Structure 1
Amino acid sequence: MSPEPTVLEVAGELQMASIDRDAFKNVSDVPVDEEQYVLALDQGTTSARVIVFSSESVPVASHQVELNQHYPHPGWVEHDPMELIRACRECIDKVGDKLDAKRIPRKNVKALGITNQRETTVLWDKRNGQPVYNAIVWSDTRTEGTVVRLEQKPNADKVPKICGLHISTYFAAVKVRWILDNVPKAREVYEEGCLCFGTVDSWILYNFTNGARHITDATNASRSMFMNIQTLEYDAELVDFFDVPKLNLPDVVSSSEIYGYFSDDDAAFPSLPISGCLGDQSSALVGHLGFDKGDAKNTYGTGCFLLYNTGNDPVTSENGLLTTIAFQLKGQKPVYALEGSIAVAGSIIKWFRNNLGLIETSEQMSDLAGQVKDSAGVYFVTAFSGLFAPYWRRDARGTIVGLTAYTTRAHIARAAIEATCFQTRAILESMSRDSGVPFHKLLVDGGMSSSAVAMQIQSDILGMEVVRPGMREPTALGAAIVAGLATGVWNDLDHVRSKLQKRRTITSFTGSLTEKERDEQYRMWGRAVEKACGWVE
């Protein structure tokens, strides 16, 4: 769920110029050999990468490793947990070499921050640190039957009120329940009291500290379904509901504090503090400097994720949204957010390329969509694994309606991009109803945001300004910010703003449709959603 490797496919190539030593002197008041830097590890759905940021948010080096995706059965998506760790370590090692090449001293790197795909679930044996099963990825839908059984249990209606989340294939506790019910080895370790649970952040922190810390930050814990969204503690009712009393849960910590020190056998960054952790969507909000109540951003990654900062008080949605943690600084109250999630966004581009062969490169999707002025009445509901917010229809499946003899692949490509944009409007309207505050602009990032065609379509469908930052890596930057706050690179959020805002550039898109045209297209989109729902019996 983090920004990923190719433009439009999942979430976007690194948008940065190579900065040599002399060029960097021109953008900072501090000499290169005295400047402070932070490593940001972005462990996403299809890749792991590390970006090194200066204290003025300038990315000076990066390295990326793509991950293997495992699809054992239709709807199943898995990762090898050990490969995740190897890829992360390789990125850190290689970026050290790149800093050497730029003559930037490694000792000037003051912290490591982690941002990660959320909900993806890893279970391991605490006696040897070995996984008992592959990681089940957030988008995996094998747990549909588990969801049905859980929904029929007594007190199922209380679960969203406690944790802020709907019972869905999306979240970690449901994946844990499936593994315990279907993987004998995991069940055996569980009964022995030795089974550890973690989302990807926990797994990385456990390995990076040589097993010394079994922890998770509040943003990731809020996606587990085990944590009370009010108290930020594990809730006995939830543990009982999912029937996992023997499961070893990670301690919940803040998003910005020193958790330990990077264990690096090759001493690439000896004794480097690991001091920041955020789930990827929370990290993107922080990277957009969305610190204040009312700030909102949308990340167009593998899926699409819109967060709206609601301040220090959680808002319970009456319109199909999720209540989650935006971030929590050490010793401070958590900052909450409303979230709307779209299961399929950038990944539709990969589907066009790999499954249908209609394009050869991801960039061609934008070119195709730009060849026509509209979709010619074609609507594509990209519900490959059901519909997330605000619909929450797991019985929906991918549906294309309105095809005629006039339809070309360009119309279908445009309709595919429009699908994400229509769902974004549905989420924004729900957020407005829940918060009572209308939106006037949307901050965007991720791979699809690199396409001017896509962002113009988004602005047309919303009828509001869409703002894209020049530095396209807010997810990684968010992890760097919380890590740097814990180690003195920045003093506080105001210091972050003052240092980073002066280097921010933006591109703005303004809608060109009339209100009548917008509303008619959105009405037809609603009809298409009705056709897609109820397909799975």
Structure 2
Amino acid sequence: MAITQQYILALDQGTTTSRAILFNHSGAVIALCQKPFRQIYPQGGWVEHDPEEIWKTQYEAAQEAIEQAQITAEQIAAIGITNQRETTLLWERKTGKPVYNAIVWQCRRSADLCRELKALGYTDVIREKTGLVLDPYFSATKLMWLFQEIPGLKTRAEAGELCFGTIDSWLLYKLTGKHLTDVTNASRTLLFNIKSLQWDEDLLKIFGIPKQIVPEVLPSSGFLANTKPELFGKSIPITGCAGDQQAALFGHACFSPGSVKNTYGTGCFALLNTGTTPISSQNNLLTTIAWKIGGSTTYALEGSVFIGGAVIQWIRDELKLINNAAESESLAKSVDSTGGVFVVPAFVGMGAPYWDPDVRGTIVGLTRGSNRAHLVRAALESIAFQSRDLIDAMESDYGHPIQELKADGGAAANSFLMQYQSDILGKAVILPEVMEITALGAAYLAGLEVGYWDSLRDIEVNWRVRRRFQPSMNPDTREQLLNQWHHAIDVARSYHTL
């Protein structure tokens, strides 16, 4: 079949929606279907998802995208999967039935377990082996919590009755019946050695995780398994898999060491390609696997902001200052500044470079003249300030200045935010022509394996600029604003110790 009649299907399972997108050879979107699903908040700081609802919405999105494109399964050359990372679930090996809701990456329920492990002196060995910090964000302490809180669960795990997986593993299991993951998702569990590329016996012992429950780890681009024929009318090879942020880095064609992207979604996630050598961060960044293709593993430095675009959802849904996210742009532009107001949106603690699970959200600088426009603008600016902190840390660790920032994600559609990000960085911010960059990255990883794209160069040709934002802020103004922002951070972090 001619390549012009074939497509790659990307399954993009995110924190709030399950999406399916069909791409053609030029990287253009042929069809897209998106299905939202419930966010479950059992108590403050806890976040869960229903695994069956995730599967149902993801499968329905795939079916509808195929129908929308008016193609058959015969025309799908391969499937690529990308997913919200770290989110943790256990299911029964025989029945496929989940034993508990998926515990989401945002969930902070295992903070006390992290403190206990830090007190026992495990921080350095975990950092050395995984490139990560000991934080509730990652999978291992979520698993510990499940084993401690649900009677009999650990015994069942030790007997080999249960499967552990991140969301990619769950989708792969439902699609193929196989218990698999890829190196990027494995590298986010606190259980995987990013140098040996194996589940680490010492780490499994530290966290009390039976090895019987972990999935087989495969490359990000390569044959994983075929789908069950009854799902789409024929078996389709799944040949690409990567966590959402690594997939976005790949989708941006950030193939050269020193190239960097920031995804502005629920959170913000900046990744910098460091090549085939993992760089140990001196600035509280994470060292992670970017992808593995064939026998070659590429590494990245990563900084994670927990509350990015979610601060605008909060402004809309809880404070009711705006009716929709798009309104935030015009409201922010209606004032020249925040009037000295700074929002520190630490609703679930703070990620890199602070890694403080106890700090909570804070607003400083309010006066009688502060209005909703000032608050909305300050909320948007907080996304840019947090991202600037990540880029500063990356430049320090990498040892070279970053030339430009490639941007994507829902909040990247906000032109005020992108211009302010450029201003506060003092660097160009570039938006790609195809904004579905995470799904595109998964498609590229899948397509490379089946020869749909011949090489990385073949993919680079597809990457095109939609818009470039250039900094226009006075450097002295930038420095003053950054000093005020860091003072606001200090205020927020000091409050929880009182």
TM-score per shorter chain, which class?
over 0.9
Q: Contact 1:395–1:535 at 8 Å: present in 2 too? A: no
Equivalent residue runs for 1:214-253 within 5 Å: 214-253=179-218
CA distance in structure 1 between the partners assigned to 2:162 and 2:356 by the alignment? 32
Structure 1 residue aligned with 2:128: 161
Counterpart of 2:223 in 1: which secondary structure?
Answer: strand
What are the superposed Cα offsets for residues 204-239 of structure 1, whole Å, 9 maximum, x if unpaired? 101110x2x211101101101101111111111111
Task: Give the residue type in structure 1 aligned to 2:252.
Answer: H
Q: Contact 2:78–2:239 at 8 Å: present in 1 too? A: yes
Structure 2 residue aligned with 1:379: 342
1:524 Cα shift?
A: 0.5
CA distance in structure 2 between the partners assigned to 1:71 and 1:175 by the alignment? 15
Q: Contact 1:216–1:251 at 8 Å: present in 2 too? A: yes
Structure 2 residue aligned with 1:194: 161
Counterpart of 2:318 in 1: which secondary structure?
Answer: helix
CA distance in structure 2 between the partners assigned to 1:419 and 1:125 by the alignment? 42
Could you say what the CA RMSD is over the residues aligned between the two structures, in angstroms?
Answer: 1.5
Structure 1 residue aligned with 2:452: 489
Structure 2 residue aligned with 1:50: 20
Structure 2 residue aligned with 1:309: 273
What are the superposed Cα offsets for residues 429-487 of structure 1, whole Å, 9 maximum, x if unpaired? 11111111111211000011101111011111111111111211110000000000111
Task: Give the residue type in structure 2 aligned to 1:474.
Answer: I
1:264 Cα shift?
A: 5.0
Give the one of 352, 355, 361 matched to 1:392.
355
Q: Contact 1:395–1:534 at 8 Å: present in 2 too? A: no
Give the one of 63, 87, 90 matched to 2:33.
63
What are the superposed Cα offsets for residues 91-116 of structure 1, whole Å, 9 maximum, x if unpaired? 1111121122xxx4542210000000
User: What percent identity do the matched residue pairs reach?
Assistant: 43
Counterpart of 2:335 in 1: which secondary structure?
Answer: coil
Q: Does 1:294 align with 2:254?
A: no
CA distance in structure 2 between the partners assigned to 1:475 and 1:202 by the alignment? 18
Equivalent residue runs for 1:369-448 within 5 Å: 369-448=332-411
CA distance in structure 2 between the partners assigned to 1:132 and 1:299 by the alignment? 32
CA distance in structure 1 between the partners assigned to 2:223 and 2:172 by the alignment? 11
1:292 Cα shift?
A: 1.4
Counterpart of 1:184 in 2: which secondary structure?
Answer: coil
Equivalent residue runs for 1:170-189 within 5 Å: 170-184=137-151, 186-189=153-156
Counterpart of 1:356 in 2: which secondary structure?
Answer: coil
Counterpart of 1:323 in 2: which secondary structure?
Answer: strand
Equivalent residue runs for 1:214-363 within 5 Å: 214-265=179-230, 267-268=232-233, 270-330=234-294, 332-363=295-326
What TM-score results when the alignment is normalised by the length of structure 1?
A: 0.90
Task: Give the residue type in structure 2 aligned to 1:495.
Answer: D
Q: Contact 2:9–2:76 at 8 Å: present in 1 too? A: yes
Structure 2 residue aligned with 1:7: none
Alpha-carbon spacing, 1:508–1:248, altered in 2? closer, same or farther (3 Å)? same
Structure 2 residue aligned with 1:10: none
Structure 1 residue aligned with 2:436: 473
Q: Does 1:99 align with 2:69?
A: yes
Counterpart of 1:290 in 2: which secondary structure?
Answer: coil
Q: Does 1:364 align with 2:331?
A: no
User: Which one has more relative contact order, counting CA pairs under 8 Å at least 6 apart?
Assistant: 1
Q: Does 1:536 align with 2:492?
A: no
Q: Does 1:89 align with 2:59?
A: yes
Q: Contact 2:288–2:301 at 8 Å: present in 1 too? A: yes
CA distance in structure 2 between the partners assigned to 1:266 and 1:278 by the alignment? 22
Task: Give the residue type in structure 2 aligned to 1:300.
Answer: Y
What are the superposed Cα offsets for residues 412-437 of structure 1, whole Å, 9 maximum, x if unpaired? 11111111111111111111111111
Q: Contact 2:73–2:236 at 8 Å: present in 1 too? A: no
CA distance in structure 2 between the partners assigned to 1:133 and 1:207 by the alignment? 16
CA distance in structure 2 between the partners assigned to 1:451 and 1:438 by the alignment? 26
Counterpart of 1:57 in 2: which secondary structure?
Answer: coil
1:240 Cα shift?
A: 1.0
Moved over 6 A (4+): none
Task: Give the residue type in structure 2 aligned to 1:523.
Answer: N
Task: Give the residue type in structure 2 aligned to 1:482.
Answer: L
Alpha-carbon spacing, 1:400–1:415, altered in 2? closer, same or farther (3 Å)? same
CA distance in structure 1 between the partners assigned to 2:225 and 2:200 by the alignment? 26
Alpha-carbon spacing, 1:130–1:185, altered in 2? closer, same or farther (3 Å)? farther
CA distance in structure 2 between the partners assigned to 1:378 and 1:96 by the alignment? 48
1:287 Cα shift?
A: 0.5
What TM-score results when the alignment is normalised by the length of structure 2?
A: 0.97
Alpha-carbon spacing, 1:337–1:187, altered in 2? closer, same or farther (3 Å)? same
What are the superposed Cα offsets for residues 22-56 of structure 1, whole Å, 9 maximum, x if unpaired? xxxxxxxx98x843210001000000011100011
Q: Contact 1:35–1:55 at 8 Å: present in 2 too? A: no
1:195 Cα shift?
A: 2.3
Task: Give the residue type in structure 1 aligned to 2:402.
Answer: F
Instruction: Identify unmatched segments of 5+ residues in structure 2.
Output: none
Alpha-carbon spacing, 1:34–1:441, altered in 2? closer, same or farther (3 Å)? closer
1:495 Cα shift?
A: 2.1
Structure 1 residue aligned with 2:49: 79
Counterpart of 1:118 in 2: which secondary structure?
Answer: coil
1:494 Cα shift?
A: 1.7
Alpha-carbon spacing, 1:141–1:534, altered in 2? closer, same or farther (3 Å)? farther
1:535 Cα shift?
A: 3.4
